[in-house]
Amino acid sequence: MPSFNLISSVLLFFYIFDLAAEANPSFLYKFCYDKDTTFTTNSTYGTNLNLLLSSLTSNANRIDGFYNTTVGQQPPDRIYGLFLCRGDVTPDVCRDCVAAAARNATSLCPVEKNSVIWYDKCMLRYSNESIFSTMETRPGGTVWDNDTFTEEEDFVDIVASLVKDVASEAADAPMGAKKFATKEANLSGSQTLYSFAQCTPDISDVACNLCLESAITEFSDCCRQKEKATRASSLLPSCNVQYGLTPFYNKTAGEVSRSKPSPLPSRDSGKGKISSQTIIYIIVPTGGFLVLLSTFCYCILRRKARMKPYLLKDQKDKSKARTMNSLQYDMSTIEAATDNFSDANMIGVGGFGSVYKGTLANGQEIAVKRLSRSSKQGAEEFKNEVVLVAKLQHRNLVRLLGFCVEREERMLIYEFVPNKSLDCFLFDTEKQKQLDWPTRLKIIKGTARGLLYLHTDSRLKIVHRDLKPSNILLDEDMNPKISDFGMARIVEENHNLEYTKKIVGTYGYIAPEYALHGIFSFKSDVYSYGVLTLEIVGGKTNASFYNPESAENLLCYVGPT
């Protein structure tokens, strides 16, 4: 009937309008960097960029939502590009988002050769250097708003727990698969907290995990209080993490389920006339729908107006952003430095893997800690050291120069410390002669300064949990440097004690309350430092004093009888 056709047409119009509004990509953030490396529109690089953007757009309807390609034969005009669509969107939505990003790329970053452009449903990136299969966390940005209120008292803690869980699920995806996950948590007052995490599928699970941890860390600068950010997105080149109090993704991974409107009941006599009741049926739902639609549009516009780009602190300084990027080394650089990991360059072996000495092209000597592929403990230690040591700077801590995650390899690159570890001198009858009393005192004091920095002076308050002679490296002047932070744990401020069911460390250096009950604190390191000091003074290991008949050890030997 005409009345029902009219209703269907009206509803269909708004349904299509609603779909179009939902699929319409929204710009979030962009970063154009390396401004000393620029190009002009009519240059070869400019032409190649246009070809690249066209190629990315043409391939943007892929099921996997990811594509990378290269245009140009030789540098400096060769250009690398890729796009990543959000894991839950359809190929059509992906295509529209990439097309919008490509269309606006040259106006957003008109002269820079390197750029990352984020929309709500995709990310587009290009560079004059290879960016494929390499995890990068800089440059990046955090976008947030606070237009949704929550009365949840533990909101910040719930956010922290939820984004950690969703990041872990995303990183578990196998190489080449869509590395994304969604997760929800119920709050008080019938509210739901939504979260989303995703990595580019060309990086390993370990690299994805590291990237997502970096993304989550950036939330702490903007989102420590619920009044500041009830919705936020941490956007990095290789990954992103988002959360909010309103749904912003499709739980069914792009398959939008919408029920077809059921026919309205008719009381028409069949003579083609529209009754007053039918008119009410038309006007009331349509009017109500228009009110809801207007409210929805107002909320969207208000939210976009309040969305604030939050620059990471170190992005304000372009050189500092480059420094962060330089933390990651490629495999070819490490292979060249270590002579392809030759046996002649191997300087140590442990349960985690091997350590090699290397020399970079600029002449700098390095120590490369290469983790065994079969060592699960090594993978955890690797992640821990990258997250912690990169943020620590002190003359009595070994300095992390960078890391490499490529071809399923995991490596840490440290400054090379020529005199190896303290135990090589302390427990060797010949080398022990080099440790005169001033040198021993310098080692004791330097180690104490390093511990003091970890416990009180660093931005992160850290318990080392494995302090012993083999983890004290000595430089050319016999200055001590605390190393091996694989077992270290961050301790929250105002928390005097922490508990764990997994006891790690080396027996003989572990505090009794930690060994017996899993209780550790800064005092645990102080206990280990005390044992270490006694060994430095006495020149003998704690174990050398062990007597099975009396259960005596070094501490009993020096203690009161």
One domain for residues 358 and 448: no
Domain boundary among 391, 415, 439: 415
Secondary structure element (H or E) that encloses residue 67, with its range: strand 66-71
- Residue 379: pLDDT band by 50, 70, 90 thresholds? low
Give the range with max mean pLDDT: 39-48, 49-58, 160-169, 497-506.
Answer: 49-58
DSSP percent split of the chain into helix, strand, coil, nearest 5: 40, 25, 40
One domain for residues 468 and 408: no
On whether residue 18 sits in a domain, the answer given is no
Q: Are 93 and 258 in contact (CB under 8 A)?
A: no
| pLDDT over 70 (residue 458) | yes
Give the up-direction half-sphere exposure of residue 523: CA atoms within 13 A in the CB hemisphere: 10
Q: Which of 34, 77, 205, 466 is catalytic?
A: 466
Q: What CA–CA distance (Å, rounded) separates 154 from 160?
A: 10
> What are 386-407's pLDDT values in tens digits?
767 777 888 899 988 888 887 6
pTM score: 0.54
Average pLDDT over residues 177-189: 85
Q: Are 192 and 185 in contact (CB under 8 A)?
A: yes
User: Residues near 10 by Cβ (< 8 Å), separated by ≥ 6?
Assistant: 282, 286
Question: Which range is least confidently modeled, 44-48, 51-55, 460-464, 554-558?
Answer: 554-558
On whether residue 133 sits in a domain, the answer given is no
One domain for residues 118 and 224: no
User: Residues near 362 by Cβ (< 8 Å), separated by ≥ 6?
Assistant: none
b/e 466-486 (16+ beta carbons within 10 angstroms → b)? bbbbbbbbbbeebbbbbbbbb
Average pLDDT over residues 281-301: 56
Q: What CA–CA distance (Å, rounded) separates 216 from 194?
A: 15
Average pLDDT, the chain: 77
One domain for residues 195 and 102: no
Q: What CA–CA distance (Å, rounded) separates 26 from 30?
A: 12
Q: Are 241 and 212 in contact (CB under 8 A)?
A: yes
On whether residue 180 sits in a domain, the answer given is yes
One domain for residues 337 and 311: no
One domain for residues 241 and 95: no
User: Residues near 23 by Cβ (< 8 Å), separated by ≥ 6?
Assistant: 92, 93, 96
One domain for residues 91 and 170: no
Average pLDDT over residues 22-36: 77
Q: Are 503 and 511 in contact (CB under 8 A)?
A: no
Helix (H, G, I), strand (E, B) or coil at 90: coil
How many separate domains does the chain show? 4
CATH code at 204?
3.30.430.20
One domain for residues 186 and 319: yes
| pLDDT over 60 (residue 206) | yes
One domain for residues 120 and 28: yes
pLDDT at 8: 43
CATH code at 341?
3.30.200.20
One domain for residues 72 and 178: no
One domain for residues 74 and 198: no
Q: Give the pair of three-digit tokens for residue 352.
A: 């985690």
Strand partners, 472: 482
Q: Are 333 and 411 in contact (CB under 8 A)?
A: no
On whether residue 46 sits in a domain, the answer given is yes
Domain boundary among 369, 389, 415: 415
Q: Give the pair of three-digit tokens for residue 336.
A: 């060249």
On whether residue 350 sits in a domain, the answer given is yes
165 included as an active-site residue:
no
Is the torsion defined by CA of 295, 298, 304, 307 positive or negative? negative
Question: Which range is least confidently modeled, 105-114, 131-140, 163-172, 527-536?
Answer: 131-140
% the chain with pLDDT above 70: 68
Domain boundary among 296, 323, 350: 323
Extended beta strands in 372-506, E state: 400-406, 409-415, 462-463, 472-474, 480-482, 489-490, 498-499
On whether residue 2 sits in a domain, the answer given is no
> What are 461-471's pLDDT values in tens digits?
888 888 999 89
Q: Select from 449, 506, 442 the least CA-distant residue to 475.
A: 442
Average pLDDT over residues 349-355: 76
Q: What CA–CA distance (Å, rounded) separates 461 from 231?
A: 28
Residue whose pair of structure tokens reads 């440290």 in the numeric block: 414
Secondary structure element (H or E) that encloses residue 57, with its range: helix 44-58
Question: Which amino acid, residue 88?
Answer: D
Question: Which range is least confidently modeled, 56-70, 241-255, 273-287, 484-498?
Answer: 273-287
Who has greater pLDDT, 53 or 383? 53
| pLDDT over 80 (residue 446) | yes
User: Residues near 543 by Cβ (< 8 Å), separated by ≥ 6?
Assistant: 508, 553
Q: Please tell me whether the peptide bond between 309 and the residue prior to it is cis, using omega within 30 degrees of 0.
A: no
Q: Please tell me whether the peptide bond between 285 and the residue prior to it is cis, using omega within 30 degrees of 0.
A: no
Helix (H, G, I), strand (E, B) or coil at 358: strand
Q: Give the pair of three-digit tokens for residue 329.
A: 């080394």
Q: What is the dihedral of CA 135, 217, 486, 370, to 10 degrees?
A: 10
Question: Which range is least confidently modeled, 255-259, 290-294, 399-403, 437-441?
Answer: 255-259
CA-derived radius of gyration, the chain: 30
Q: Is 369 annotated as a binding residue?
A: yes
What is the extent of the structural domain holding 89?
24-127
**Distance of CA 236 to CAs 14, 58, 176, 310, Å?**
36, 24, 19, 13
Q: Give the pair of three-digit tokens for residue 242.
A: 């988002």
pLDDT at 510: 78
One domain for residues 317 and 342: no
On whether residue 269 sits in a domain, the answer given is no
Give the range with max mean pLDDT: 16-20, 97-101, 309-313.
Answer: 97-101
- Residue 18: pLDDT band by 50, 70, 90 thresholds? very low
Q: Are 468 and 500 in contact (CB under 8 A)?
A: no
Question: Which range is least confidently modeled, 3-12, 182-191, 260-269, 473-482?
Answer: 260-269
Q: What CA–CA distance (Å, rounded) separates 340 from 541?
A: 37
On whether residue 297 sits in a domain, the answer given is no
